Amino acid sequence: MSAFADRPLKKLILFDVDGTLTPARQSASSEILEVLQALRKKAVIGVVGGSDLVKIAEQLHVPGTHVAEHYDYTFAENGLTAYKLGKQLPSQSFIKFLGEEKYKKLANFILHYIADLDIPIKRGTFIEFRNGMINVSPIGRNASNEERHEFEAYDKKTGVRAAFVKVLREKFADYGLSFSIGGQISFDVFPKGWDKTYCLRHVEDEQWDEIHFFGDKTYQGGNDYEIYTDPRTIGHSVTSPTDTIRILKELFLDA
Ligand code: M1P
């Protein structure tokens, strides 16, 4: 029997986090959290973020609770860290996939490249090592909010991240890796296929009439592109959390 027999709709509705449920790296509004809980009474809901669980929990946090209590599925790092109805599911790891030697070569190259990069400012934590991926930031993950915005504008003008990714794609072509620019100051590096479609393997044991996905970076090269265009999902491209609410009301809540 389905774990979700109590929901009138056999529909799974998945959401990207940054830019879809929250402004980039900021907290969700109480309005969107209420809309999601209203939706959860009708259908099955899940979040699928590129960030790690700690960051997703900060953004979607209801104080005194675990973030995974509020969603039927909670997928961090594209589903490499996964929860169903608050229980953690088994996961794989980036370092097991790549091996220490290859990883060392990659990390050394990245750090040398950043050392030689002449950008206006640098902060700290240039590689963040996660369970299912590494996150690489030329300015460093310790940048403040203001510094993030400045870097994002600088990157739009100069294409510093795109150029970096191009070099890595060529240099490490035999590593079986994907590179994805999803946020403001960094890009993610993970094994091919470990994009957001990875999370879909965790939902295959249930019967769905439809699986919907809402995301903002749905263009080619964006980190929502693969799941948005996947034949298993119905994709919705949104411009902000307000836009997400508008479409949810139209399709599911006011219908
Ligand atoms: O969720 C989108 C991205 O959010 C962050 O990116 P940035 O710090 O560059 O804004 C990161 O957590 C990144 O991994 C993630 O894909």
Nearest 5°: the CA angle 17, 23, 24 is 75
Q: What is the DSSP letter of 242?
A: H
Index of the ligand 1 atom closest to the CA of residue 181:
16
Those residues whose C-beta lies under 8 Å from the C-beta of residue 58, and which sit 6 or more positions away, are: 27
User: Along the 255 residues of the chain, how does pLDDT read in single tens digits?
Assistant: 789 999 999 999 999 999 999 998 899 999 999 999 999 999 999 999 998 999 999 999 777 889 999 999 999 999 999 999 999 999 889 999 999 999 999 999 999 999 999 999 999 999 999 999 999 999 999 999 999 999 999 999 999 999 999 999 999 999 999 998 878 999 999 999 999 999 999 999 999 999 999 999 999 888 999 999 999 999 999 999 999 999 999 999 987
Residue 243 annotated as catalytic: no
| CA of residue 123 relative to chain centroid, distance | 23
CA distances from 87 to 30, 70, 74, 188, 209 (A): 25, 12, 10, 26, 24
Query: Residue 14: which of 175, 221, 206 has the closest Cα?
Result: 206
Query: Which residues are near ligand 1 (CB < 6 Å)?
Result: 17-18, 24-25, 49-51, 55, 135, 182-186, 188, 223
Beta partners for residue 76, in sequence order: 81
What is the whole-number distance in angstroms between the Cα of residue 3 and the centre of ligand 1? Answer: 31
Instruction: Report residue 84: phi and psi, to 5°.
Output: -120, 125
Residue 18 annotated as catalytic: yes
Ligand 1: residue whose CA is nearest its atom 6? 183
pTM score:
0.82
Is 181 exposed, middle or buried, given 0-12, 13-18 or 19+ CB atoms closer than 10 A? middle
Q: What is the DSSP letter of 251?
A: I
Compute the Cα dihedral for 102, 107, 108, 112 and give only its sign. Answer: positive
What is the whole-number distance in angstroms between the Cα of residue 255 and the centre of ligand 1? Answer: 33
User: Of 16, 52, 216, 224, which is the active-site residue?
Assistant: 16
Query: Residue 234: which of 8, 12, 9, 3 has the closest Cα?
Result: 12
| CA of residue 176 relative to chain centroid, distance | 20
Is 14 exposed, middle or buried, given 0-12, 13-18 or 19+ CB atoms closer than 10 A? buried
User: Of 18, 188, 195, 224, which is the active-site residue?
Assistant: 18
